[in-house]
Structures are given as C-alpha cells and as structure tokens.
Amino acid sequence: MRYPRNLQGYGPNPPHAQWPGGANIAVQFVLNYEEGGENCVLHGDAASEAFLVDVIGAAPWQGKRHWNVESMYEYGARAGFWRLHRLFTGHNLPVTVYGVATALQRSPEQVKAMLDADWEIASHGLKWIDYRDHDIEHEREDLHAAVKLHTEMIGTRPTGWYCGRTSVNTVDLASEEGGFTYVSDTYDDDLPYYREHMGSPQLIIPYSLATNDMRFTTASGFANGEEYFQMLKDSFDVLYAEGEAGSPKMMSLGLHCRLVGMPGRFAGLQRFVDYVMSKDKVWIAKRIDIAEHWLRTHPYRKPAIVPSGLALDDFTQLFGNVFEHSEWVAERAHKREMGPVHDTPVGLHALMCQVFRAASEQERLGVLNAHPDLAGKLAAAKRLTAESESEQASAGLDALTDAERERFGLLNRQYVEKFGFPFIIAVRDNTKAQIMAAFEKRLGNTREQEFATACRQVERIAELRIRSIME
C-alpha cells in the first residue's frame, strides 16, 4: 500500500536558499486578480459567487445574480486594483499577479498597467470557481483553455500556475501540461522544492494563507488593518531571524483587490511595505524570479534509491539483510503503508523496526540467532555475510591476538549458555575494548533484560546498514 502524502519535506536540515545578495528572506507580493472571473450566471455558471466577500454567511444563489456580491468584486477592479497599483509602482516593487484568464480578458486597462509595470502575470486558472467536484477531463480542458486565453491576452504563455480552488488532480494536471516553470497549489513549506510526477520533476513554490488578506473575511481572521500588519510583521521577523541564523526562507503575501484594496485594510499593508523596506538583506522578488533562482542554485537531483517506489523483489534485494538473514522483515515492511516519509534512512528504519517489534518473540529470537558470534567460528572460516564481515573488521575483530580470540571464544560460550542467543552489539559504534567491556557487563543481566538489549542492538545495526545502502 502506497501513501502519497509527503510529511517529510526537507526535515531538520533544509537547504540554504542562497538568496541573491545574501538576503535573509525572500518576500513576494502576490496580487490575485479574480474580478470578472468569479461564479456568475452571466459567465455561464449555475449560481452566484459567495467566496471571499464582505457578506457574512454568503451562500450561492442558484440561477440568480447576486448584485451585492458582484458589486464587491467590481470594487476590486474599479478601485482596489488602482490603489494597490499606486503603492507598488510608487515604491518600484516587483509583483506577481495570479490572473484568472477570464478576469484578465474583462480588464484590459488593468492588464496594460500590469504589463507596463513589468509585473509577472501567472495563471490563476480559467475561471475563479471550485474544482473539487469536477472530473479530471473537464478540469484538464479548463487548464488548457486558461493557458490559451492567457496567451492571447498577455502575448506570452504563463510560466507560473496557481488555481487556488483545487481538486486532488490540479497539481498533477499542471505538471503534466509541461509548460509551467513552477506550480504554487501547495501550502506545505517555506522553501521551494521539487515534486516528481510521472517520472518528471516539477518545481513547487509553496503559497501561504496565514499571511493572506482572505482572512479579513473569515471568522478567525483580521478585524482591521492593525491586526493584519501585526501578523505580517511577526511572520517577517521570525523568518528574518531564521535567515540571520543561517536558514533563509521565503514569505508570500496573498492580496486581493476587493479585500486589502479597501482603505482601512490597505493602511496595514502600507505599514508593512514601509517596514520591509526599512530592513537590510531582504530580497523582494517575483515568484518567477524565485523559481529561476532555485532552478539554477538547487537543480533537481534524482535520488539514487526511493524505497517506496521499489517493487518487492528490488526492495528485498536491497534491504533483505538489514536484519541479519531475516528477509521477512523487509517483505512485511514493503506490504505496509509506505510513502515519501520512508524514502529517508530515518523513515525506512522506523518502518522496519515497527515490523520487527510487531513480530512474535519467537520470530525476534530467530533474528537474534541469525547473527554470528563476534570473532567466532564463522569469522575464522570466512563465512560471514558481507555486512557482518565489514562490521566486525571495522572494530578490529578480524585481527585479534591469540589471547583476545581465546577470551572472545570463552565469553561467546558463556553468553549463549546463559541466554540462548549470541551476543549482539553494533560494533561500528564501539572499539574492541568497549565491545569486550560490554560483553562482560551484559553477562550480568537477566535474560529479559538481555533480550531487550539485544533487540535494540539489532535495530541499531539495521539503522547503520540502511544508512550505508542509501547514503
């Protein structure tokens, strides 16, 4: 069973973004231009729009126009856009526009202003509608129609994509289309990353709703421009400090002409723009600039081994001896829920240990008994597995004096007679002297204590073997 969600990401060690000029943070102002592309019976839709408007508890009106909602969207195009345009052009700040194709078509004056300001115009889909219940073919048709109409309006095809009101197929469809430098229909990171689909990598530039002005219209959102400014400032300060500490990130501000374009809300945005511009080491960039920087600085490198993508035979061939002579652990792990989180040494080790711990005591005893004695007869006869031979050699157990070999032999016999399984220790973690000391100390344990200790050592050996294979 394969689990497609990726809860791993970059983990504890994200890459250094290396933003231009040594910036601690990359800030993007993203203007969502949706006015004229929203649900409306005039556009051939079944009902009126009810999303992201200043009508508390708004609901779609089936088969009817909602005059109030339409006029709120119109405010965004007629007044809000130009207020935002004056702010950003006045400071000569780069902007990315997420443009709904049909909205752009109905706003030629605004489109000209965007182009004159050298703003990036990325695609925000064909219409500002919800695709969650659309079949994949209908959504694919709309995506291609969006690209076609966008190209007619702008003169060039869009190289960025953000649908916003997605289905489970949206990101896959955008990746399959093949012409997008980046896709932004995720909210799962503070840095760009690559997502592989059908064997090809797609650069993802995550977006954010936490710093999005849409929260002016949600119950737990911003009540006024001051609350909005404070959230933006706090987010910026945390990310800026992380960048100063050596881990630069990016910050996305999602803006809507009909929302933050309102005067009282706009005041909070103005304050934040002034605040950002007062700071050093800030890269204010279009999203396409971030995408191109990432492609140059952090090009995609296909992992050598992707455990969750391996067939059973290939998986067991690679990992079948992680638990000594116990291929069943690998087989059972492969049949469990596997996904991207198991494509790292830590993740795969956790899964295989779970299988081992879930096994019966008799099965785990079998794993213990599959291990050879340290510096024992199998080692002398050169009959160790490649893994065990390498491990024992790492601690010098292949080059013992006669006295040391005799001492190990005596301890091995005493240990097996007392516990019924061989002494097991992760030799790569220890010197020869430490192994000898542990041998003598652990002989004083009860069988229950020693069984638990031996199992932990088996798991540690498995961890080191997995790392050796994958890294």
Active site positions, annotated: 371
Which residue type, as a one-letter code, is found at position 22? Answer: G
The angle formed by the CA atoms of residues 78, 79 and 84, to the nearest 5 degrees, is: 120
DSSP element (H, E) containing 333: helix 327-335
Q: What gap in Å lies between CA 413 and CA 369, rounded to an integer?
A: 14
Q: Which residues pair with 32 in a beta bridge?
A: 98, 256
Rounded to 5 degrees, φ, ψ at 305 are -135, 130
Q: Which amino acid is at 213?
A: D
Give CA–CA dist 109/119, Å, rounded. 14
Phi/psi zone of residue 125: left (φ > 0), alpha (ψ -120 to 50 degrees), beta? Answer: left
Lookup: tokens for 300: 């995609």
| Residue 83 near residue 121 (C-beta atoms within 8 A) | no
Amino acid code (one letter) for 401:
T
Residues 226-250 as b/e (b if ≥16 CB within 10 A, e otherwise) read eebbebbeebbeebbebbeeebbbb
